[in-house]
Chain A
Amino acid sequence: MKRTIITLLVSVLGLVILSTWSLYSALMLSQKGDAMMRNQLVAVLIGFVGFGFMAWWDYRRFNHWLWALAIYLTTLTLLIAVLIPGVGTYRNGAQRWLYSFQPSEIAKAAVVFSLAWFCARYQHRLGSFKWGILAIAAIILPLLALIFSEPDRGTTLFLIGLTGIMLLVAGVRWNQLLLAGSAAAAVLLPVLLRDPLVQKRLAAFNAPEAHRSDAAYQNHQALLAFGEGGLFGKGPGAGVMMRTIPEHHTDFILPVIGEELGFLGTSMVIFAFASILFCGASIARNAGDSGDTFGFLLAAGITFLIVAQAFFNIGIVTKIFPNKGLPLPFVSRGGTNIVVMLTLIGALISVARHTKAAVLPLKSTRREHNDNPFAEFQS
């Protein structure tokens, strides 16, 4: 378990260092680059404080309805507050920010926490449609509805997917979930497909050449940046093509790494996320083995939350999926994101630390005394 924790820590630290470095490279020409960089570093520091705090605390304290309710209600309040005109900040065509703070990032953590608590608490009833689907829908839907109306469709879809994964892992029947999923799709798809932005992005994905100057521009420039990088990249700070990518310091940070550090850099990012995936899954399994469902679900939820974001982000910037705004955890610029992600990693390590004793049987340092004089011949 110790090795797992160390591998996890090394991966996360490596990503954070890579993030700081590539963000500097990406931001150094921006007009307010230094202020952005400073804010990011402050956020990283706050994130490490949260990380240490969570890693030190026993995560089982959170396995209480009061905590779950508090986290849930706080998130709900923030999500409502962000929609109030004058309180929330309208930027880039969406109302997602309270000043520089993004409640939908908190909502990701809140979904994981409340689902973990709920599913651990009502484990035995999850098999029924009433508890497994309807009750959970009642919990999740208000959050999703609020995020959807910001509008932040990408995060909504992502959270629906994450909920699905968590419920499956928690033991909800897959056929019931499929039913619920189809119902959700039936409601969401027409809405999404009528959205002009989604239409444009899908069209751009299908016919990138035709939309190179608008909807496919970002993706195309990202491909150029990746291509410029080659195997070893152009070197730190030497990226040129990446500067033409809109949002190259947030969602499209990977092309920056791709251009400046080459394939070596990008593959290191992928290995880092893969190791987070395996470490997280191993921690979750350990917690499950020690009989702690809350720990199991929490660890699994956190792992998939991080890994799925990374998976979709990398898929989007490499043009496997159509364009949708999702940050690359630990790497993209975004204060709330990095604080929440580091805090969640803290919780993951807390799970690992506090289930260790239960998983491994205590090894006695002394050899057990055996009265049988023929003991050594027995085996």
Chain B
Amino acid sequence: MSKPSNRNWLLIFQWLFALGFSVHLGRLAWIQLIDPTFPDETQIPETTDRRWVRPGQRGMILDTRGTPLAMSQTMLTLRADPSILSNEAPRMAAMTAPWIGLPPDRLAELYKLRYYWNSNRVCIETNALGLRVTNSCPGLSPLQSVAIKDNLLPEEWETLRANLRGLKFEEEESLKAYIKKHPRDRAKRTERARLSARLQQLRVLGLSSDPREVRSYPNSNLAAHVIGYVVPATNRMGRPVDDLLGSMALERQFNEQLRGRVGAVETHKVNNQELAAQRELDLQPIHGMNLELTLDLGVQSIVENALARAATELKPLGITAVVIEPKTGDILALANWPTFVPDRLRSVTNNSQLLNRALFVPFEPGSTFKIFTYALGFESGHLLEDERIDCENGRWVRQIGKHRDVITDEHKAHGLVSLEESFGQSMNTVAAKIAMRVPELEFVGMLTNWGFGRPTGVPLGKESPGLVKHPSIKTGDYRWDTLTQSRMAYGYSLQVNAMQLAMGVAAIANGGWLMEPRLVKRLVNPEGAVMRENPPRRLRQVVRPETAARVAHLMHAAVTNGTGKAAFLNEWTVAGKTGTARKYMRNEGYSTDHYYASFTGFLPVEDPQLAILVIVDEPSTAGKAYYGGKAAAPIFAEIARGTATYLAIKPSPRTAAPEPADHPAPASPIVFPRPESTNAAGTLSTSRSQLAVNP
């Protein structure tokens, strides 16, 4: 049995402690509510509001096989904090130099303490009333960030950081060893703790890194006009922001889809440690989408090589080539010469390097356009397949009111000629006659239907739609006059862009369907999910399949027996048409020594897989190499041969391709004109009405 005294003592202690707790309660109320102690500024831990940005990476541009054409990489800028490093500048420089790859004395110079004029400097002062106030007092502040090295890979930075963390200092090591021997030496322990804190600052805060997005184009100049380039983005005040802005072609048109959205963190730091629970903003970055193109880098390189080689020989103002898959409208290659390297924009010396001629330069196509004249003739029923038309012996003179209109041919023929001959020899007289059989409105309507005079919709910018005159417009520069239709028959008096021409020819190749040119296959997000699919799209059937077949036959004949012999290939049957157009110069009218040489065609004829267009702007007139058949057709042949081989297109059966009378030797890709074939200079008249050079 417990004695009563036990319980008394229990009670006593119970109430003593209870009393004690109420004293505590009172004390807490005193120090928390009634008379709290306030810190002076030296006792407030350094609290900073920090905001940092997590970069969102720009998406890639990929070709049809997934080869990157444009890609983004996060590179780091190495920075040093001289306000921390300056105490140990020479020593730290010597230790870090081998890792950074800069000479130690240069680093020591960078690590030295420097000051800058800080207009936002804040100081705490005592004012006239004796109160401590925060004032702004501009003055010198120590520089805390110096860029040391650019374009550091993230892995390099990780290695460097690990190396820095592992830095050993003699004095610390010796202290460590001493303390191991004398573990109870308090003074030395304190000394070591202080030293370690200082050295840790050197190791952790001395060097830091800033991420920066770097856009790279791994294929040099290939498809430069399709990809475009980026520039650093700026805000409204013109200050650089941490983003890239697409400035040309796909980079520009798909800037919103390609660019990543930055994530951000807003947080508070106390003594340089983050209060993770107090994050006010924690946004993950969104990486940009990848753009998958129909472009095939292999085809593109074949085309660009061919253009570059031809450019050295022809010395033109520019060359454009487009390769299209007729059945889908896919653009397999789109190339221009001169070109540029998106990675090295500074080496661009001439703005014409940046010009995408395929879309932005409208031109008068010349004889190449006869393809459409003949097709319209067949389609409207005004031209029969086995018809023979009088070629007026190569000089057709018409008296229209007061005007005398003369249309001449270079190829001299007599009397009635077959369609194969007139198309193959590119007779302007016959083409004009065919065109004039078709009623004006029907003629223009069908051309418009074919896509001429309208933008094709290739997403590379605001393209030039060309110009097709309309019979209802009787005044002004673009008026329809009595000569217009006969001129349009052989490719003058209208303007087209190369893509329209190529898609038009592709429509012949695929049996009469006008396809929408497809450059972007799909948009894929970084996780691989398809965000937007762009399937091949048929716009409309512009001619019946029989018409297309008839025109294809004529084009095939033009390559085997006509002006396009230079485009003949042994393995594949080729259909094509040459064109040589005189350029309209501002002051002198239609020029006698500035031409557009063009060749457009497709192959193989029996099952067309490729439609190719080559346009040479102002080929050198030396050696009479400016004809479409001399300047452009060999380039076509080289592109066609290379691409068909590369894409493993089935060779045509031998029987389908009759051997031409004389076809170029396949060894040399570009065949230059033989001197005997030229006497054109004499026949070219400067008169306003005599426009064309036929072949």
**A interface list, Cβ under 8 A from B:** 25, 28-29, 90, 93, 123, 165, 168-171, 220-221, 223-224, 226-231, 236-238, 240-241, 243-244, 258, 262-263, 266-267, 270, 273-274, 277-278, 281, 284-285, 288, 291, 293, 296, 300, 304, 307-308, 311, 314-315, 318-320
Contact = CB atoms under 8 A, between A and B. Distances in A.
10 contacts: A170-B6, A171-B3, A223-B31, A224-B37, A236-B277, A270-B24, A270-B28, A307-B17, A311-B24, A314-B21
Given A90-B183, A318-B24, A320-B23, A169 B32 contact: no
Contacts of B184: 93
Contact of A311 (B17, B37, B47, B273): B17
Nearest to B5: A171
B36 interface: yes
Given A90-B183, A288-B2, A244 B43 contact: yes
Interface stretch (B8-16, B331-339, B345-353, B460-468): B8-16
A297 B7 CA distance: 10
Given A238-B275, A273-B21, A293-B2, A169 B9 contact: yes
Nearest to A304: B13
Contact of B36 (A29, A226, A288): A226
A288 B7 contact: yes
A221 B33 CA distance: 16
Contacts of A230: 32-33, 36
B75 to A, nearest CB: 30
B275 A227 contact: no
B544 interface: no
A93 B27 CA distance: 32
B1 A293 contact: yes
Contacts of A169: 6, 9-10, 13
A264 to B, nearest CB: 10
B271 interface: yes
Contact of B33 (A171, A231, A237, A315): A231
B58 to A, nearest CB: 35
Contact of B2 (A266, A281, A296): A296
Contacts of A318: 24, 27-28, 31
A363 B399 CA distance: 137
Given A281-B14, A293-B2, A243 B271 contact: yes
Contacts of B273: 29, 243
Given A230-B36, A308-B17, 15 more contacts: A29-B270, A29-B274, A165-B13, A171-B3, A223-B37, A224-B43, A227-B38, A229-B32, A240-B44, A270-B28, A277-B17, A285-B10, A288-B2, A288-B10, A320-B24
A84 B5 CA distance: 43
A243, A258, A262: residue with the most chain B Cβ atoms closer than 10 Å: A243
Contacts of B25: 267, 270
B237 interface: no
B647 interface: no
A87 to B, nearest CB: 15
A224 B37 CA distance: 5
B276 to A, nearest CB: 6
A219 B170 CA distance: 36
5 pairs of A and B residues whose beta carbons are closest in the complex: A227-B36, A237-B277, A29-B273, A263-B32, A281-B14
B401 to A, nearest CB: 94
Contacts of A284: 10
Contacts of A237: 275, 277-278
B39 interface: yes
A230 B278 CA distance: 20
Contacts of A319: 31
B45 interface: yes
B21 A274 contact: yes
B138 interface: no
A320 B17 CA distance: 14
Contacts of B29: 263, 267
A122 to B, nearest CB: 13
A291 B1 contact: yes
B674 interface: no
Given A28-B277, A270-B25, A227 B37 contact: yes
Contacts of A93: 184, 186
A334 B43 CA distance: 28
B36 A320 contact: no
A291 B2 CA distance: 7
Interface in B525-553: none
